[in-house]
Structure 1
Amino acid sequence: MLIQTDVGRAEVVANRLAELDGVLSAEYVTGPYDVVVRIGADTMARLQDTVVPNVQRVAGITRTLTCPIANGAPP
């Protein structure tokens, strides 16, 4: 998942995301996105209904882009 944050909030957002259930890793980066998060769940329904919305609710996030792994590799 690629995330844009409010200016100056990338590190804080990445640290908060790292604490969430379903977040496997969260790193703040430079470039067009501010945080890159690897998420996972036991089912696609849980990913869509729980993990993604929980990530999107974190304060400081302005935009997200979810990029499912095409080859079906496990999280």
Structure 2
Amino acid sequence: MVEAFVLIQTEVGRAEVIAKQLAGLPGVLSSEYVTGPYDVVVRVGADSLAELRSAVVPGVQQVAGITRTLTCPIADGAQP
């Protein structure tokens, strides 16, 4: 399995709602709203990097209220 963290900025006041929405999407392993420069941190996974790029990440990015994302693939492939 290929995994990545997606760091997300949202519209003001929408982080909690968006984190809950993201938690139900296919490929989303965890979703938390946080403080700091990003509002939500999501851990995503797929069987391949191609699937992660073509299906999982675009699904996350299409949620209304998200203004910016940064996808960080996990380099070592370690499982939680």
TM-score, structure 1 normalization = 0.96
Partner of 1:18: 23
Give the superposition deviation at 1:72. Answer: 2.3
Q: Out of 9, 30, 38, which is 1:33 matched to?
A: 38
CA distance in 2, matches of 1:2, 1:70: 16
CA distance in 1, matches of 2:74, 2:50: 15
Partner of 2:58: 53
1:73 is the counterpart of 2:78: yes
Q: Which has the higher strand share?
A: 2
Detail structure 1 runs of 4+ shifted over 3 Å in the superposition: none
Q: How many residues are matched?
A: 75
Q: Deviations over 1:33-53 (max 9, x none)?
A: 000000000111110000000
What SS does the aligned partner of 2:72 have?
coil
TM-score, structure 2 normalization = 0.90
Aligned identity (percent) is 75
Which consecutive unaligned segments of at least 5 residues does structure 2 have?
1-5
Which consecutive unaligned segments of at least 5 residues does structure 1 have?
none
Q: CA RMSD in A?
A: 1.1
